[in-house]
Amino acid sequence: MVNLEGKVAYITGGTKGIGYGIAETLLNAGMKVAISGRDTQNAKEVAKQLGTEERVLGLGSDVTEPEDEEKAVNAVLKKWGQLDVVIANAGVGIFKPVGELSTAEWRKMIDTNLNGPFFTLKASLDALRRSQGYYITIASLAGTNFFASGTGYNASKFGLVGFTQAAMLDLRSSDIKVSTIMPGSVATHFNNNIPDDKDSWKIQPEDIGLLVEDLLRMNPRTLPSKIEVRPTRPDKKNT
C-alpha cells in the first residue's frame, strides 16, 4: 500500500482506546477513517472530535450482529466508494475463575472477540478484494499465553489468532494482506481501567497506531502476519 493518502479504513471499536489511537494515526497519515461502536450517537460525537465529515465517519454497529457489520461497511462504501483497510479491534474481557464465569459472560467474550472479527471480515471481503486491501485483527498476548481467571478471554483470543492466521492463508492469493497484532499491557479503559500516570509504563494506543501504519507502508511483497508487542520495561508488579 505504501502511499496511504486518500485510502479508506474501517475500525471497529474505534471510539476509544486502541481503536481511537489507530484512527488518529491513520488520519494523520492522510487516510479517511470510519469508526464504529455500539452507541451510534457516541460514535458520531467521537468522529467529530477526530476530524471533519469529509474524512471521518462515525457509525453504530454491534460486531456480534452480522447485519450491523454489513450495514456499516455499506455506509463506508456509500460515502467514499472504496474500502482499503479493515481493523477488527472491538473486544471485551471478563476475568473470573472458570467456576465463577457465567454462561452469558462466556458468550459475550466469544461473540465479541471471535465471532465479531469473522462477521467484520465477511462483510468487508468483497470490498477488500476490489482494493487488494489489508485486514488486521487486534488480538492479545493472551492469544498464546494462558493465565488463571482467563478461560473465556484466553479461549476467544487463542481462537482469534488461529482464525486470523488461517484467513491469511486463504486470502493472500487474492492479494489481500492479513495480519494479527498481539499487544501486551496497553493504557486503555479495558477491564474498567482509567488511564493515568500509573499506566505510563504500558504500551500507549498511539503506539499500536504507528505499528498499523508501519504494516500498511511495508512493501507489498512482505507480510508480517503475526506481531507480538510488549512494554519495553514492564511494571515490576506485572512481571
Q: What is the pLDDT of residue 239?
A: 41
Q: What's the whole-model pTM score?
A: 0.94
User: Rounded to the nearest 10 degrees, how much is the dihedral formed by the CA atoms of 144, 117, 213, 56?
Assistant: -150
Domains of the chain as residue ranges with CATH: 8-238 (3.40.50.720)
| Confidence at 187, pLDDT banded by 50, 70, 90 | confident
Q: Is 134 a known active-site residue?
A: no
Q: For residues 193 and 77, which has the higher predicted lDDT (pLDDT)?
A: 77
Q: Do the beta carbons of residue 136 and residue 22 sit within 8 Å?
A: no
Catalytic residue among 10, 20, 135, 153: 153
60 exposure class (CB count in 10 Å sphere: 0-12, 13-18, 19+): middle
Q: What is the pLDDT of residue 95?
A: 95
Cα 57 to Cα 23, 47, 87, distances in angstroms? 11, 6, 15
